[in-house]
Chain A
Amino acid sequence: MTSVAERVDRLERQWAERPGVLGWLTTTDHKRVGLLYFWTTLVFFGAGGVEALVMRSQLIQPNNHLVGPETFDQLFTVHGMTMIFWFIIPMTTGAFGNYLVPLMIGARDMAFPRMNALSFWIFLASGMFLYIGLFSGFGPDAGWFNYVPLADRLHDPSRNIEFYTLGLAFNSIASTLTAANLIVTILKLRAPGMSFNRMPLFCFAFLAASFGLIFALPSLSVDLIFLFLQRNLGFHFFDVAHGGSSFLWQHLFWFFGHPEVYILIVPAFGIATEIIPAFTRRKMIAFPLVAIAELLVVFIGFGVWAHHMFATGLPTTTLVFFAGATSMVVIPSTIQVFAWCMSIYAGRPKFKTPLLFIIGFIVMFVAGGLTGIMFLAIPFDQQTTDTYFVVAHFHYIIFGAAVFPIFGGMYYWFPKVTGKLYFERPGQISFWIIFAGTNLLFFPMHIVGLLGMPRRVYTYPGDMGWTSYNVIESIGGYITAVGILALFTNLVVSYFRGAPAGPDPWHGPTLEWSVPSPPPEYNFAVIPTVSSAYANWDADDRERDGHRLTAGVGTLERGHEQHVSSLIDGWTSEIVDMPHSSPWPIALALALSLLFAMLVITHYLFAAIFAVVIALTLLGWHGKEPQES
């Protein structure tokens, strides 16, 4: 009879990664892909942060000359693009989503492992594409939303806007692939017994964000294609003289752009809904309402886009649809805030660093949400649009509601990923520095915006009464930078010097805490059975898994095997053979990079040649078929 040790040994051999650098370049393991995303997004976060600090240094005093207007234009544009497309989205969906979703649902990998690796390499290549543009003096410079006619050939003739259109189009392929992968994984690879009512709220959040990406990104893609065709081939979508409309750019952009901001924060909601139960030692209050709220926020978010266009002169009979929907989209967010607060209040909270970041997130999110509600009043919006009041609002939301949970999540899952505990005291200190710094940085922006300071100005006169606020903001920026440095220093030192964490230092509620830290390549020696959304707290189930492991039931050791379940109720439907290491994802990403490079220098013939190379690469990708089950 096969012993447990022999089964585990067989699994380790089946799932072992190739050694060395080659192993990382050809990996399809969701954990490795998640880590690649994690480190790469941190580099882009650093770049976006440096851009922010340069801007704050330029604005620290009036009539400053640290950077000129053209450089400042590129800085605020690339800062916005980097933080949204190359930090928050890939950090949440690519890093947290990839690493944690399969573990939380009891799966061994994502549904499409090679496509997962492909999405990372495309993401990396698209970031390099954008920054090559920036460093060669062709950084996008018309703002992250790139309105026409400013972004049209007449007003912005050089290649800057091509780096915008093609860079974002390139990046959006990666996000679309990740979203598709997350959706199919969550719907089809859940452990036996994990019906929707027993799925962790984290997975609901990632499902919502992924559906958002699938349906919102195409609107941006259409906009980018139209602009590329207009600028390079003389088409006329946006120019009024030939029957076009510059509003069309705005409608298409914001149809993507508003769901995008919910896509930014909903995964963070998911992180919060896992940290709160772990550190309050109780289940989330109003579980079904929180789950539907996560879905509703993204869904209703598709109906509010023209609240970004209240100052464009559209008829009010059109705009009131958006004002009405905007007022109602607050409700699911509020449901969640109440559920989080009541869960903390009704539980037995342990105020460790992850929970501190979540409490900070709630405070910042509520503040940003309140200013958001102010904007839904059309007259108020028309007074404050394009002022620093807007900048304050969205930074409270994005930094508070997306970045704070990311930082909290880094601390929370650090023991799982590294097998080490972080140092708690420095962690709490880093939280307080960041919290103080971000409020110093962003709160005065409300006031200076109401005093009339426009956004996107590279300098300002000294007699407007804005100077002292800008000084405070810039100091706040430097303090925030110090706090972030402290956070990462703590994590790095903890990695080398931290105490061993064991599998479950927090007595966490979900399945990732039932496996060793860090998890083995195959995640679960036996596919777990589940009878609640807090599967790790169900001791009977986990004990039963142990017996099943001994008996060899559900170990799936015959190959690189994964269990597939039915869509609604999570009943076992088949066992499939999953791909292993492969060179095709990086090869395909390289071919795509060359295609986009040829497009940006308008060498269309070579672009067509690389399109053929891409088709041939796809042939190679599908050359080897999986083993029959």
Chain B
Amino acid sequence: MSVRRLSLLQWVGFLVGGPVWFAEFLAGIGASQAVCNPASARWGIPHDAVQLGLMLFAAVCVLIALAASAVVFRETYEVEEQDPPPHGRIHFFAAASIGGNVVFLMIIVLTGIATIVDRTCHQA
């Protein structure tokens, strides 16, 4: 694989997961607040459907990022972590991104399931 393509995949792996999780997180909280507040409750937002959609979308994006990181890691397996750029940097970010994307995926799935399974708008 060319360095250009490796680099692109590396950046996809590193930069997609975090913002996607955070955007889904804010949208999910926003949706649950919109459903559970008296003024906005009349908008009739379907809570569980929205949360399921957000969770699936975010999970797919993070899986793509994880796959990109994994491909790059495998392609640069022989590279040492302190090797000169660009290969050393590419391998480093790929290794780091695998860890990061796994964590983001777990948060997305955990919080998505929890908010759907829970009684909507039940006060804590």
Q: Interface on A for B, CB 8 Å cutoff?
A: 193, 195-198, 287-289, 291-293, 295-296, 299-300, 302-303, 310-311, 313-321, 323-325, 327-328, 331-332, 335, 378, 382, 531-533, 568-570
Q: Which of A300, A314, A316, A318 contacts B103 (CB 8 A)?
A: A300
Q: Are A303 and B22 in contact (CB under 8 A)?
A: yes
* 7 nearest CB pairs, A to B: A197-B92, A292-B96, A324-B111, A569-B85, A195-B85, A320-B114, A288-B95
Nearest Cβ on chain A to B8's Cβ, whole angstroms: 13
* Binary flags per residue of B75-113, CB closer than 8 Å to A gives 1, else 0: 000000111111011011101110110010011001100
Contacts of A315 in B (CB 8 A): 32, 36, 120-124
Q: Are B86 and A569 in contact (CB under 8 A)?
A: yes
Q: In the complex, what distance in Å separates the CA atom of A328 from the CA atom of B104? A: 8
Contacts of B18 in A (CB 8 A): 299
Q: Which of B22, B25, B124 contacts A378 (CB 8 A)?
A: B124
Q: Are A289 and B95 in contact (CB under 8 A)?
A: yes
Q: Are A291 and B84 in contact (CB under 8 A)?
A: no
Nearest Cβ on chain A to B124's Cβ, whole angstroms: 5
Nearest Cβ on chain A to B50's Cβ, whole angstroms: 11
B60 at the binding interface (Cβ < 8 Å): no
Q: Are A320 and B85 in contact (CB under 8 A)?
A: no
Q: Are A197 and B123 in contact (CB under 8 A)?
A: no
Total CB contacts across the A-B interface at under 8 A: 125
Q: Are A316 and B122 in contact (CB under 8 A)?
A: yes
Q: Which of B81, B84, B99, B120 contacts A292 (CB 8 A)?
A: B99
Q: Are A313 and B85 in contact (CB under 8 A)?
A: no
Residue ID in chain A nearest B122 by CB atoms? A316
Q: Are A317 and B92 in contact (CB under 8 A)?
A: no
Q: Are B32 and A289 in contact (CB under 8 A)?
A: no
Q: In the complex, what distance in Å separates the CA atom of A8 from the CA atom of B62? A: 53
Given known contacts A197-B88, A314-B124, is B95 in contact with A328 (CB within 8 Å)?
no
Contacts of B35 in A (CB 8 A): 317
Contacts of B119 in A (CB 8 A): 316-317
Q: Are A318 and B82 in contact (CB under 8 A)?
A: no
Q: In the complex, what distance in Å separates the CA atom of A319 from the CA atom of B120? A: 11
Beyond A313-B123, A317-B115, 20 additional pairs, beta carbon < 8 A: A193-B84, A197-B88, A287-B92, A291-B92, A314-B124, A315-B32, A315-B122, A316-B122, A317-B36, A317-B121, A317-B122, A318-B29, A318-B115, A320-B111, A321-B25, A324-B111, A325-B25, A328-B107, A331-B103, A568-B85
Contacts of B40 in A (CB 8 A): none
Residue ID in chain A nearest B116 by CB atoms? A317
Q: Interface on B for A, CB 8 Å cutoff?
A: 18, 21-22, 25, 28-29, 32-33, 35-36, 47, 81-86, 88-89, 91-93, 95-97, 99-100, 103, 106-107, 110-111, 114-115, 118-124
Given known contacts A289-B96, A303-B22, A328-B110, is B115 in contact with A321 (CB within 8 Å)?
yes
Q: Are A293 and B92 in contact (CB under 8 A)?
A: no
Given known contacts A198-B82, A325-B111, A382-B124, is B99 in contact with A320 (CB within 8 Å)?
no
Given known contacts A197-B82, A292-B99, A568-B89, is B123 in contact with A321 (CB within 8 Å)?
no
Q: In the complex, what distance in Å separates the CA atom of A364 from the CA atom of B123? A: 35
Contacts of B83 in A (CB 8 A): 197
Contacts of A296 in B (CB 8 A): 99-100, 103
Residue ID in chain B nearest A204 by CB atoms? B96
Nearest Cβ on chain B to A302's Cβ, whole angstroms: 7
Q: Are B96 and A291 in contact (CB under 8 A)?
A: yes
Q: Are A320 and B115 in contact (CB under 8 A)?
A: yes
Q: In the complex, what distance in Å separates the CA atom of A352 from the CA atom of B122? A: 54
Given known contacts A299-B18, A328-B106, is B111 in contact with A321 (CB within 8 Å)?
yes
Q: Are B124 and A310 in contact (CB under 8 A)?
A: yes
Q: In the complex, what distance in Å separates the CA atom of A324 from the CA atom of B111? A: 5
Q: Which of B36, B82, B110 contacts A533 (CB 8 A)?
A: B82
Residue ID in chain A nearest B106 by CB atoms? A328
Nearest Cβ on chain B to A187's Cβ, whole angstroms: 14
